[in-house]
A = this chain, B = another copy of it.
Amino acid sequence: MAAPSSGPVTTLAWRGDAHVGHVVLLDQTRLPDEEVELEVHSAAEMIAAIRCLAVRGAPALGVAGAYGLVLALRELAGRAAQHLELVRARAAELAAARPTAVNLPAALARVRARAERELAAGADARALREALLAEARALEAEERAASEAMGRHGAELLADGAGVLTHCNAGALCTVGLGTALAPLYVAARQGKRLRVYADETRPLFQGARLTAWELARAGLEVTVLVDGAAGHLLARGAVQAVVVGADRIARNGDVANKVGTYPLAVLARRHGVPFYVVAPCTTLDPACPNGAAIPIEERDAREVTHPRGIATAPHGVRAFNPAFDVTPAELVSALVCERGVVHAPNEVRLAALLARAPAP
C-alpha cells in the first residue's frame, strides 16, 4: 500500500525538457484492471486522451490542457505571427475537448496569455516553449499545493469513526495531488482518524467503483462500493455522517455542476440532516457564470448507458438520455471547501468575498 502522504498515485507528469519532452498519463480507462502509462506527444493526442477520459477531473484537465498547449508548440515554424495564431487555435481546440469544467479553458487562457506576453517581448520558438512549460509547471505546482490545503481544511470537518459517502472520482486521479473530495479523507487518515468510506459506483462510467475504490484501497483506507440507487437506503440507515463530492464548475451563486448523480445525493443528505460538502479548488469557481442554469451540461454517447463496459444491457436501438453532469443548487451545499478555507452555506456574497481574499500561503 502506498502511503497517502506520498501522493497515492501519479496521474499526470511532464517528462523531459521543453523541446523534446512529453506528457505521461496513467490511462484511467484501463483501471482497475491494469496500470498502463500513456505517452502523449502532441496536442491532438492530448485532445484524444481528454475525450476518451484517459485523463479526467477538473483540476487534472487544467494541467493536461496546459501541457497540451506546450506540446502544440512542436508544430511551430516560420514567423512569430504564426506562432500566436497556432497557440490560439490549439488552445481553442483543447478547450473544446470537454465543455463543462472551467479549469480547462481557464488553464489554457493562462498559458495563452503567457504566450502572448512572451511573443510581444520578442521571444523566439525556443524561448516560447521554455516559458510555456514553466507556466504549465507552475500551474501543476499550484494545483498540488491546493490539493494539500483542501485536504487540511476538509479533514477538520470529518470526525473519527465517521461514515463518508462520495460520488464519482474526485481523488488523486482527478488532480495532480491528493485530490479534491478525497483529499480530506487522505489527510484525516494521516491524522489517525478511522473513516468508513462509501463509494457510489457512479454509472455510466463506474469511476467510483473503478477509480475511487482503487485509489482508496491502494492507500489503505476502508472502502465499500454501492450502486448509485442504494445511497438513499444507506443514508436512511444512518450509516453516513458526511457526503463529500468534488465539482466540475461552480457558478457565482454557488450552484455546483458535478458528475451526474450528485444532485440526488444532495437532496437526500438534506432530508437526512447529513452535511453535504463540495471540495474544489478556487479555479473551479466561475464568476462569469451567474447560476447553475447557465452551466453547459455535456450529453455523452448513448452507448455509455446501453453498453456498460461494452456489454449490451438494453434492447438494440433503444434511445438513452446521458447527461454527464447535474447541477446541485447552492442552498443544498453545507460548505464549500477550497484551498483558501471553508465557506459555510456558500452564496454569491460569500463566494465573492472568498475570491477577493488573498490565497492562503
- A203 interface residue (CB < 8 Å to B): yes
Question: Can you list 11 A-B pairs, Cβ within 8 angstroms, ordered by A?
Answer: A167-B229, A201-B314, A203-B228, A206-B308, A213-B314, A226-B320, A230-B322, A232-B267, A233-B323, A236-B327, A264-B267
- In this complex, which of A231, A234, A314, A327 has the most chain B Cβ atoms within 10 angstroms of its Cβ? A314
Cα distance A141–B226 when bound, in Å? Answer: 39
Partner of A229 from the list B203, B236, B297, B311 (CB cut-off 8 Å) is: B203
Known: A236-B326, A260-B233. A305 touches B214 (CB 8 A): no
Cα distance A225–B315 when bound, in Å? Answer: 10
- Closest approach, in angstroms, between the C-beta of A343 and any C-beta of chain B? 24
For A213, list chain B residues within 8 Å (CB).
314-315, 318
B267 touches A305 (CB 8 A): no
Copies of the chain in the assembly: 2
A309 touches B306 (CB 8 A): no
- In this complex, which of A201, A309, A313 has the most chain B Cβ atoms within 10 angstroms of its Cβ? A313
- Closest approach, in angstroms, between the C-beta of A219 and any C-beta of chain B? 12
For A323, list chain B residues within 8 Å (CB).
230, 233
Q: Which residues 187-227 of A sit at the B interface, judged by CB distance below 8 A? A: 198, 200-204, 206, 209-210, 213-214, 217, 223-227
- Closest approach, in angstroms, between the C-beta of A214 and any C-beta of chain B? 5
- In this complex, which of A210, A268, A315, A317 has the most chain B Cβ atoms within 10 angstroms of its Cβ? A315
Cα distance A316–B33 when bound, in Å? Answer: 9
- Closest approach, in angstroms, between the C-beta of A86 and any C-beta of chain B? 38
B226 touches A305 (CB 8 A): yes
Q: Interface residue count for A (Cβ, 8 Å)?
A: 59
For A200, list chain B residues within 8 Å (CB).
229
- A8 interface residue (CB < 8 Å to B): no
Cα distance A224–B320 when bound, in Å? Answer: 5
Q: Which residues 236-278 of A sit at the B interface, judged by CB distance below 8 A? A: 236, 259-264, 267-268, 271
Q: Which residues 162-205 of A sit at the B interface, judged by CB distance below 8 A? A: 167, 198, 200-204
A231 touches B264 (CB 8 A): yes
For A32, list chain B residues within 8 Å (CB).
312-316
B202 touches A314 (CB 8 A): no
B268 touches A201 (CB 8 A): no
For A206, list chain B residues within 8 Å (CB).
308, 313
For A214, list chain B residues within 8 Å (CB).
314-315
Partner of A227 from the list B210, B223, B261 (CB cut-off 8 Å) is: B261
For A204, list chain B residues within 8 Å (CB).
227
For A227, list chain B residues within 8 Å (CB).
203-204, 228, 260-261, 305, 322
Given contacts A32-B315, A232-B260, 10 further A-B pairs with CB under 8 A are A201-B314, A206-B308, A209-B318, A213-B318, A228-B261, A229-B229, A229-B262, A230-B260, A232-B263, A309-B311
Known: A225-B306, A309-B309. A217 touches B322 (CB 8 A): no
